[in-house]
A and B are shown apart, each in its own frame.
Chain A
Amino acid sequence: MSDVTLTIDGVSATVPRGTTIMQAADTVGIRIPRLCYHPRLSIEGACRVCVVEVEGARNLVASCHYPAEDGMVVRTHTPEILQLRRDIVELLLDNHPEDCNTCERDGNCELQRLAYATGIRERLFAGERKHYEKDNLGPAIIRDPDKCILCGRCVRVCGEIQEVGCLGQVNRGFKTVVMPAHDAPMVETVCTGCGQCVNVCPTAAFLEKDATADLMKAIEDPEMIVVSQMAPSVRAAIGEAFGEAPGKAYEGEIYAAMRRIGVDYVFDTQFSADLTIMEEGAEFVKKLAEGGPLPNITSCCPTWVKYCETFHPNLLHLLSTAKSPMSMQGAMVKTYWAEKMGIDPSRIFSLAVMCCTCKKFEATRPELFVNGLPAVDRVLTTREFAWLLRNYGIDFTHLQPEEADNPLGESTGAGVIFGATGGVTEAALRTAYYLLFQKDLPADALNFEQVRGLKGVREATLDFEGTAVRLAVVHGLSNANEVLDRLIAGGEYHWIEVMGCPGGCVGGGGQPYAGANAVPLDECLLAQRASALYNLDAAREIRCSHHNPSIQRLYQEYLGDPLGHKAHELLHTYYYPRVPMGVRPQEAQV
């Protein structure tokens, strides 16, 4: 493809033909203000914030979709443009609640930043303002149309990256609202709860359902014993919420912080990630030996599970029956650990801090309850947890690292990498190899580079002592569909890992908002978070789940064998088709 050279604000830029003016400007250090634009989504051109002047053009053009041409002369900040941009943002503010002080996104809001950047220092007019009911009926996601500025990013992320298509823009003009089909509550729709709408929303039109108040109550209740766990990815991103650069893991600091806020026992989801590998690895090896049903499709991701139940009910028999690490952990806390400690499980408040909004939904699934009690009482996202620490006045980044409590806090490198796309596969391979051949992979062969990285679909065929193992690893639900289409068309796989969010759990819907200079879902950011986890894994002495001493003890003392009776009862689950409003028709045929 040939290049074109254009002049932007007097600076010359040479870019490949087909590049937009906005992208060209980005390459020469000119950041044209933008709102509805997102680099990973289709171009909407709705907000008009990015208008620029092109010499010879009749009108100002939206730089997000206008292609750069040879010899083009572009101006991005003439007095006319600056005034117009301010007017556009003012019009958005006219129909937006002026409640920044009490808004969840205060300080993290793109509209707020834009209003500041465009120089709006006073509000001139009070216009007519829309008002709609908030939808907070579901366990995971809250939709607040009053905050919506109709940029359409949520609609696009839901349709394009996730291929869920839960959201649409309904009605026209002033009456336009982003809503699910028939204005149904999110909980009754095809929504998978992934929370990417929360991630990409520039304002607070989508939020997770706040669970901090319930936790604070439990902490203050002398009768309740608060037991925590946290997902691997939380440690890879929480620093960002405190202004630290991405890519640094905070593990011991989170354990310390949990004790400071009053958690009684600090455990780690990574323990149960190892436990998941014991069960799912054994299940996979059994399926390989018995010839099926294959492929084994992972089931740790609640978003993926709900998606599969909704859109691919005919594939449910392929999902691993192993519960997710979070639910296994909760089950072990309220049985094994409670018995060991002589604590009545009903006095235990089981807290999970997760990178995920959908885990809030998972915690409410009745089939995951243990002896009538929820395995996990409340789920906090990384964001909520970071807020709680601020509220409690904890200087997070200066805490002295501490250790997790045992036995449910000990983990291996295999458990750590669950948070990155491909991590579950890598962890499972390490243990599956051991189960198949009764020996460990050599220490220098523990990394499976084929399944790492951020390519949407990664396929590999491994040579396991002469046996070919065909793998697919995907993240983002549209990529899942790509592999599932191949599977349905007769493609042969032994193992498919699906993580609902881009990047896997490190890109979860509950992670800290992208900072002022970052873009949500940015691949660099996701890669940095993933590398924080891979570094932790590399530094661990024990890197295979089956060598976790606490896991070994758990099986000896309590569970028996992987896939045994007790394990089956406490660590495995089942799935069922869902037919909410707005399901697509093409059920997968296998």
Chain B
Amino acid sequence: MRYQRKTLESPEWWQSLDAYIAEQKERNRDHVQSALIPVLHHVQDTFGYIPVKAINHVAQQLGVPTAFVCGVASFYSYFSLTPKGIYTISVCLGTACYVRGSQAVLDEFCRQINCRPGESTPDGLFTVHEARCLGACGQAPVVMVNDVVYARVTPEQVPDIIAQLTAEAQAESA
């Protein structure tokens, strides 16, 4: 099966995006490029990434060249230009987590879902990332799944986490 993000995209959403763009444009009247980053955040919050059609739309509505929007969207690592899974798994490879074995945790996640870091599963469920410090060194090694922090993760726990998330997603889509 293929998992679909519960996207909020709709004709109304695009209208609300236009309203948001107008608001940001007004706020950044003297330098309209400055409105770009909040607008791109708004887009990514909905899609989980920034699709081409949204780049074109934002460029048109803001009145900045599309090439510039592509430049900004590709510069910041927070923005993604490719679709993400429903669950983004970020395994911290910062110093504290690393010395407590987070590399093995990352490897296990990759093995379980059969992806390399930065990739997504074909079913659209998981994306796995290496992260630098997540600011929770006391609980190392740390893994974040979307907004949820998993503390002191061991490779042995990884199959359970995957199973639990998969069950959750199946329940949601049922």
List residues of A whose CB falls within 8 A of some B CB. 155, 159, 164-172, 179-182, 190, 581-586
Please give me the residue from chain B that is nearest to A166 by CB atom. Answer: B67
Find out whether the CB atom of A181 lies under 8 angstroms from the CB atom of B74. Answer: no
Task: Please list 5 pairs of residues, one from A and one from B, whose beta carbons are closer than 8 Å in the complex, sorted by A's number.
Answer: A159-B68, A167-B67, A169-B71, A172-B77, A582-B59
Contact with A along B81-125 (1 / 0, CB 8 A): 000000000000000000000000000000000000000000000
List residues of B whose CB falls within 8 A of some A CB. 52, 55-56, 59-61, 63-71, 74-75, 77
- List of 10 A-B pairs having minimum Cβ-Cβ separation, nearest first: A165-B65, A582-B66, A168-B67, A181-B66, A168-B71, A585-B60, A181-B67, A170-B74, A171-B74, A181-B70
Enumerate chain A residues within 8 angstroms of B52, measured Cβ to Cβ: 182
Enumerate chain A residues within 8 angstroms of B67, measured Cβ to Cβ: 155, 165-168, 170, 179-181, 582
Enumerate chain B residues within 8 angstroms of A582, measured Cβ to Cβ: 56, 59, 65-67
Partner of A168, one of B60, B63, B70, B77: B70
Enumerate chain A residues within 8 angstroms of B63, measured Cβ to Cβ: 584-586
Report how far A159 CA is from B74 CA in the complex, Å: 19
A179 to chain B, nearest CB (A): 7
Enumerate chain B residues within 8 angstroms of A170, measured Cβ to Cβ: 67, 70-71, 74-75
Partner of B65, one of A166, A171, A172, A182: A166
Report how far A77 CA is from B19 CA in the complex, Å: 55
Q: A167-B67, A182-B66, A582-B66 are in contact. Are A172 and B75 (CB under 8 A)?
A: yes
Enumerate chain A residues within 8 angstroms of B69, measured Cβ to Cβ: 181
Report how far A172 CA is from B59 CA in the complex, Å: 20
A165 to chain B, nearest CB (A): 3
Please give me the residue from chain A that is nearest to B67 by CB atom. Answer: A168
Main secondary structure of the interface of B (DSSP, over half): helix
Find out whether the CB atom of B61 lies under 8 angstroms from the CB atom of A585. Answer: yes
Find out whether the CB atom of A159 lies under 8 angstroms from the CB atom of B71. Answer: no
Find out whether the CB atom of A581 lies under 8 angstroms from the CB atom of B68. Answer: no
Please give me the residue from chain A that is nearest to B62 by CB atom. Answer: A585
B70 to chain A, nearest CB (A): 5
Report how far A343 CA is from B75 CA in the complex, Å: 59
A44 to chain B, nearest CB (A): 13
Report how far A80 CA is from B19 CA in the complex, Å: 54
Report how far A581 CA is from B77 CA in the complex, Å: 24
Find out whether the CB atom of B61 lies under 8 angstroms from the CB atom of A181. Answer: no
Please give me the residue from chain A that is nearest to B71 by CB atom. Answer: A168
Please give me the residue from chain B that is nearest to A167 by CB atom. Answer: B67
Please give me the residue from chain A that is nearest to B64 by CB atom. Answer: A165
Find out whether the CB atom of B74 lies under 8 angstroms from the CB atom of A583. Answer: no
B34 to chain A, nearest CB (A): 16
Enumerate chain B residues within 8 angstroms of A182, measured Cβ to Cβ: 52, 55, 66, 70
B102 to chain A, nearest CB (A): 24
Enumerate chain A residues within 8 angstroms of B64, measured Cβ to Cβ: 165
B52 to chain A, nearest CB (A): 6
Please give me the residue from chain B that is nearest to A170 by CB atom. Answer: B74
Q: A172-B75, A581-B56 are in contact. Are A165 and B68 (CB under 8 A)?
A: yes
